Amino acid sequence: MLQGISQKFRGGCLMLARDNAGALDFLGTAFVVHPQGYLLTAAHLVAETEGLRVVPTSSGGEFQPMSFDRVAAMAVSVARRDTAHDVALLKIDQGLEISVPDDFLGSGENVLPGASLMSLGYAFGHEQIHTTLTVGGFAAAKIRSANDTQLILFDSMVHNGDIGGPLIHVADGHVVGIISGRFEPAEVLSGSATWERRSTPGTNISFAVDIDYGTALMRSEGLLEHE
């Protein structure tokens, strides 16, 4: 079951980077949510909107090189952004159709403490390892932050490269959150639109914002108008 869910979503996870004079500076993870080339990620990764790129990598089961000398980077623009809840909707600039799973967007409302969860992301992208990592865990708690943002805490030690990736509810195979980082109470959602992220190596609890904030951006973009 876990293998099937991992394969379902791995192909839709892309590296998020910025073009820096012809070189790509890795930022984090983004994931495809609509066949017209829309993706969701964490808003604080794309505070600077110039030169954003996404890079697909292999989703198969074969052994891959740790790093690739050449990658097929695609330019993306920020279509919508919700800085208060740390969610951004991106759009691949070139016109193309992308395959997405059927019925894959869920809601944090459906997650209960103890539920099995799966995170996907380029955990070691900052170390130039171009591979998506699948990590399992369970829901530790659901809380509201100081600015009333719905957060899902989960028992898994995500890395900076995982930020922006999907958190998946194993029971139904739905994306229920967007990974935001390690959970440190003093640093999480102080109520400001400016989020500071500092390394918190002492905790193995991470958190994601409810995917409902992402679907709200999709709805405002007219992508879910028939629902």
Q: Residues 34-71: pLDDT tens digits?
A: 999 999 999 999 999 999 999 988 766 677 777 776 66
Rounded distance between C-alpha atoms, residue 197 and residue 161, angstroms: 13
pLDDT at 187: 61
Q: How many domains does the chain have?
A: 2
Below-50 pLDDT ranges, the chain = 191, 227
pLDDT at 9: 84
Does residue 183 belong to any structural domain of this protein?
yes
- Tokens representing residue 88 in the block: 């951004």
Based on the domain organization, do 118 and 211 belong to the same domain? yes
Based on the domain organization, do 189 and 153 belong to the same domain? yes
Does residue 60 belong to any structural domain of this protein?
yes
Based on the domain organization, do 141 and 170 belong to the same domain? yes
Based on the domain organization, do 140 and 81 belong to the same domain? no
Rounded distance between C-alpha atoms, residue 168 and residue 178, angstroms: 9
Is the separation of the CB atoms in 79 and 223 below 8 Å? no
Domain that holds residue 79: 2-92
Q: Which CATH number do you get for residue 129?
A: 2.40.10.10
pLDDT at 98: 84
pLDDT at 184: 79
pLDDT at 186: 65
Is the separation of the CB atoms in 136 and 27 below 8 Å? no
Does residue 227 belong to any structural domain of this protein?
no
